Amino acid sequence: MVQTPIAPTTSVTLEAFLEMPETKPASEYIDGQILQKPMPQGEHSTLQRDLLFKIDSEFKPNNIARAFPELRCKFGNKVLVPDISVFRCERIPRQENGRIANVFEIAPNWTIEILSPKQGQGKVTDKILHCLDHGCEMGWLIDPEESKVIAYPHNDRPRSFTDPAAILPVPTWAAALQLSVGELFDWLTA
């Protein structure tokens, strides 16, 4: 998503950011700056919705993992809001009563970002790399304009996928999910 600083000339502490009211669309805290995400548009919303459904339908029934849209995650002195955060069920923060916690202070197991029109890959790639540096197992950068997915496996080089028949790599625990590039981008024509 395109991000614009809310107050580009003012550096804010992490503690001050966490005390601020949440914004719509969500804001992230990166390197002392508050960056607000724009409202998702059609392709972004479609890919996000269908991918959330695909991941949850595969892993939620067996209590393996859950996919969360626009979940605020605080770790490594940053507050990120990935388009999709996937957590293995045993890592999902819980309240004392067993319900899912409101605050997630860990990186997701799998982070997925979807580029918006005219958005460069640089800052989004930095977010994925930050997640990988803090225990994330896999990152995806989905570029609808180019019908391309760049996969960032932990401790391996990124790989770019454009062949419609190519099956996208997933974390090892998610091997049951077989999703091709073509299937992913066909959601945009359904």
Could you report the per-residue pLDDT of 71-93, keeping only the tens digit for each?
A: 999 999 888 999 999 999 999 99
Count of domains for the chain: 1
Whether the predicted pLDDT of 25 surpasses 70: no
d(CA 62, CA 173): 12
CATH code of the domain containing 127: 3.90.1570.10
Domain assignment present for 88:
yes
Domain assignment present for 12:
no
Domain assignment present for 89:
yes
Residues linked to residue 74 through DSSP beta bridges, in sequence order: 79
Which pLDDT band holds residue 172 (cuts at 50, 70, 90)?
very high
Domain assignment present for 117:
yes
Domain assignment present for 27:
no
Domain containing residue 165:
41-186
First vs last C-alpha separation in the chain: 23
Nearest residue to 169 via CA among 139, 142, 143: 139
According to the model, what pLDDT value does residue 32 have? 72
**Helix residue spans in 11-108 (DSSP H):** 14-19, 42-59
Whether the predicted pLDDT of 9 surpasses 60: no
Residue in the structure block whose two tokens are 């005219």 = 118
Whether the predicted pLDDT of 28 surpasses 80: no
Averaged over 151-159, what is the pLDDT?
96
Q: Are 84 and 44 in contact (CB under 8 A)?
A: no
Domain assignment present for 30:
no
Which pLDDT band holds residue 108 (cuts at 50, 70, 90)?
very high
According to the model, what pLDDT value does residue 36 have? 67
Q: Are 139 and 131 in contact (CB under 8 A)?
A: yes
Whether the predicted pLDDT of 50 surpasses 80: yes
Higher pLDDT, 139 or 11: 139
Longest Cα–Cα distance in the chain: 48
Averaged over 133-138, what is the pLDDT?
96
Domain assignment present for 34:
no
Q: Are 66 and 92 in contact (CB under 8 A)?
A: yes
Domain assignment present for 2:
no
d(CA 61, CA 165): 27
